[in-house]
Amino acid sequence: MSEAEPSSAPTIRTVAMPADLNPAGDVFGGWLVSQMDLAGGIAAALRAEGRTVTVAIDAMTFHRPLHLGDVLSCYAELLRVGRTSLTYRIEAWSRRRAGGESVKITEGRFTYVAVGPDGKPRPVPNPPA
């Protein structure tokens, strides 16, 4: 049984381009991780109401390759809010070219810390009421 793509809107969506490929024609794993980190960073900055920095990426799992021309959608699910940190589960899904199906290609856990203008950790605000 295949998983269903999340029903929420993706945090980011982009297309794998020729410059994102390695010599074998596959999308670089590092490019994919950077897109996931961008998605998590956007979600974390919105929730933290300001600047955040990535402090950890763990539990990365690469399920399938991403191909040239695939539409990449990254979804950020908030897992934990600490005093200064936010942890997200980021899923990367690919819609194959020519109207193909959506498949989960990568997932991981990313942790961000809210920082102030001085670059030091600051408390994450309580969620809006």
pLDDT tens digits, 16-41: 999 999 888 889 999 999 999 999 99
- Taking only the tens place, the pLDDT of each residue in 66-106 is 989 999 999 999 999 999 999 999 999 999 876 778 999 99
What is the number of structural domains in the chain?
Answer: 1
Question: Which residue has 């908030």 as its token pair?
Answer: 78
Structural domain span for residue 53? 12-114
Read off the pTM: 0.92
In a domain, 6, yes or no: no
In a domain, 71, yes or no: yes
In a domain, 54, yes or no: yes
- The count of residues in the chain is 129
pLDDT at 129: 63
Q: Give the pairing of strands 102-114 and 71-81.
A: unpaired
In a domain, 41, yes or no: yes
Element housing 90 (H / E): strand 85-95
Residue 2 confidence (pLDDT) above 70: no
> Which CATH number belongs to the domain containing residue 18 in this structure?
3.10.129.10
